[in-house]
Amino acid sequence: MNTQTFNPGEAATEVSTVAVVGLGYIGLPTAAILAGKGLHVIGVDVNPDTVQAVNEGRVPFIEPDLGVHVAGAVSQGHLTAQESMPEADAYIVAVPTPFRDDKTADLVYVEQAARSIAARIRPGNLVILESTSPPGTTRRMADVILDLRPDLSAAAGSDRDRVLFAHCPERVLPGRIMIELVTNDRIIGGLTLEAATAAAGLYSTFCQGRIHLTDAATAEMAKLVENAYRDVNIAFANELSVISGNLGIDVWNLIELANYHPRVNILQPGPGVGGHCIAVDPWFIVSADPENSRLIRTAREVNDAKPGHVIAEVKTAVEGIEAPVIAALGLAFKANIDDTRESPAVEIVRRLALENPRARILVGRSFPGAKLPDELSPLPNVSSVVTNDAVAAADAVVLLVDHDAFREIRPEQLAGKAVIDTRGFWRTTA
Ligand SMILES: NC(=O)c1ccc[n+]([C@@H]2O[C@H](COP(=O)([O-])OP(=O)(O)OC[C@H]3O[C@@H](n4cnc5c(N)ncnc54)[C@H](O)[C@@H]3O)[C@@H](O)[C@H]2O)c1
């Protein structure tokens, strides 16, 4: 199917009831936005606490502005939640797609959701996969449903009663989800053009960005490629930081100077790459075609190796100190959020603590009341303290996340200490 831009005037949605399957960071905002447009939305989640929270108009995680949308939609009766799969005109699947130890995608949640939908789906219904998925997953989800429902078909022009399948990947930024859900462009890939167009009709009820129609596998790949693009470019910066360190060159000044070239735009290095998207999604491409994904795999390996380089730097800085105190500033996978999923900062602190049992690692708190994540809380030589106290007690200070809160640290607080600045936070300009 050739890519084309959807014209909202062409296909008004015939959907009035939507089941959103998976009420997490993606599913719940989508459910709330659709409900705010007057559709009847039924949220489905296997977690009874989540179902209860939503029915009480509460949000079980932190996302700006989401609470107001959920509370409003529930109080107006447009949004309800339940554990069982209802009948609906359209199903939007936003369940987790983690990777296994061998870096292949674990599609068990998508398959579970598909089996539940198969029991309730009716001719003419639309099923949209929003979960980030390897190419072919929308087809696989359709096969799970159609194997259980041989009375239905996804094929265009089929004699049997038709159902429509599409993929609509999500690229919102946590912290700005309620804005970007509305303003971002969307890519919608259908198993048929009719399916893509029907899904676009539904999304056009709230999406103000352009909607680009394509086939399902291209839409699946587009999401993975966006994150692999970021990963490869960050890997280039991270590789430069290691090479520059070995050559005695300041990588921040180096990149600033190179970026004066009108067609060069090197990203900033860091302690590695974290989060549940950029550190995960490129592996779905690698597992789809291992032989030919050499650059993408190498980028993942370069980024995954970066914490090891930071650890080596810290160890060198405290060499000769019998029981060193190390202040580790920040644990999140990026600045000014509290999400530590796949965070290289957590990995660095964990390995430093395990490999140096005599060292004390003081994690400087950037958020009031922030607790240590599960990977760190059992370690006896890691504790969470107020940032200024961590810095004051430290022999070495390692800046892992560029949280704005750390701007309050004054240069004299760092005097006489070894400083490992993985983000160029305290750098001087070229
Ligand atoms: N969070 C993001 O910023 C983001 C951005 C883009 C894409 N994505 C993708 O969106 C998908 C969902 O991510 P998320 O962050 O919303 O996950 P999440 O873990 O926050 O939420 C998933 C929800 O699905 C529920 N669930 C699991 N299996 C279920 C089933 N069979 N039936 C009903 N509910 C089920 C879980 O209980 C949970 O509440 C993933 O594929 C992710 O990669 C996430």
339-359 residue pLDDT tens: 898 999 999 999 999 999 999
Determine which residue's CA is closest to atom 41 belonging to ligand 1. 131
Q: Mean pLDDT throughout 14-36?
A: 97
Pairwise CA distance, residues 202 & 117, whole Å: 18
Ligand 1 centroid to 29 CA: how many Å? 11
- CA of 81 from ligand 1 middle (Å) equals 15
Q: How large is the average pLDDT for residues 37-63?
A: 96
Residue 308 identity: G
327-341, pLDDT tens digit by residue?
A: 999 999 988 888 898
Q: What is the model's pTM?
A: 0.90
Q: What percent of the chain has pLDDT over 70?
A: 97
Atom of ligand 1 nearest to the CA of 169: 7
| Ligand 1 center from residue 172 Cα (angstroms) | 13
Of the candidates 22, 173, 194, 178, the residue with the CA atom closest to the CA atom of residue 112: 22
Q: pLDDT at position 6, please?
A: 83
- CA of 113, closest atom in ligand 1: 31
Question: What's the distance, CA 43 to chain centroid?
Answer: 21
* 267 class by beta-carbon count within 10 Å (0-12 exposed, 13-18 middle, 19+ buried): middle
Using the mean position of ligand 1's atoms as its centre, give its distance from the Cα of residue 186 in Å.
18
Q: Is the dihedral of CA 352, 357, 360, 365 positive or negative?
A: positive
pLDDT 10s digits, 180-206? 999 999 999 999 999 999 999 999 999
Residue 100 CB neighbours (<10 A) = 11
Confidence of residue 365 (pLDDT cuts 50, 70, 90): confident
| Mean pLDDT of the region 373-382 | 96
User: Which residues does ligand 1 sit against, CB inside 6 Å?
Assistant: 21-27, 44-47, 50, 94-97, 109, 112-113, 131-132, 170, 172, 174, 276-277
Average pLDDT, the chain: 95
Mutate to test the pocket of ligand 1, among 30, 45, 184 (most ligand atoms within 8 A of CB): 45
Summarised one tens digit per residue, pLDDT across range 99-118 is 899 999 999 999 999 999 99
Q: Whose CA is nearest to atom 4 of ligand 1?
A: 26
- Residue 154: is its pLDDT beyond 90? yes
pLDDT in tens, 380-429: 999 999 999 999 999 999 999 999 999 999 999 999 999 999 999 998 65
Looking up tokens 């800046």 gives: 399
- Name the closest-CA residue to atom 15, ligand 1: 25
Above 90 in pLDDT, residue 1? no
Nearest CA to ligand 1 atom 28: 109
Closest-CA residue, ligand 1 atom 1, reads 25
CA 83 to ligand 1: nearest atom: 33
CA 201 – ligand 1 centroid, Å = 23
The pLDDT, as a whole number, for residue 427 is 86
- Each residue's pLDDT tens digit, 258-315: 999 999 999 999 999 998 899 999 999 999 999 999 999 999 999 999 999 999 999 9
Per residue, the 3-state secondary structure of the chain, as one string, reads: CCCEECCCCCCCCCCCEEEEECCCCCHHHHHHHHHHCCCEEEEECCCHHHHHHHHCCCCCCCCCCHHHHHHHHHHCCCEEEECCCCCCCEEEECCCCCECCCCCECCHHHHHHHHHHHCCCCCCCEEEECCCCCCCHHHHHHHHHHHHCCCEECCCCCCCEECEEEECCCCCCCCCHHHHHHHCCEEEEECCHHHHHHHHHHHCCCCCCCEEEEEHHHHHHHHHHHHHHHHHHHHHHHHHHHHHHHHCCCHHHHHHHHCCCCCCCCCCCCCCCCCCCCCCHHHHHHHHCHHHCHHHHHHHHHHHHHHHHHHHHHHHHCCCCCCCEEEEECCCCCCCCCCCCCCHHHHHHHHHHHHCCCCEEEEEECCCCCCCCCCCCCCCCEEEEEHHHHHHHCCEEEECCCCHHHHHCCHHHHCCCEEEECCCCCCCCC
Q: What is the reported pLDDT for 85?
A: 98
The closest residue, in CA terms, to atom 21 on ligand 1 is 24
Active-site residues, by number, are 223, 277
C-alpha to C-alpha distance for 397 and 414, rounded to whole angstroms: 8
Pocket test for ligand 1, best of 170, 172, 342 (most atoms within 8 A of CB): 170
**Predicted local confidence at residue 11, as pLDDT:** 67
CA 168–ligand 1 middle distance (angstroms): 14
Residue with the two structure tokens 């259980």 = 148
Above pLDDT 90, what percent of the chain?
Answer: 88
Distance 98 CA to ligand 1 centre (A): 9
Q: Which two tokens stand for residue 70?
A: 């959920």
Report whether pLDDT(21) > 80: yes
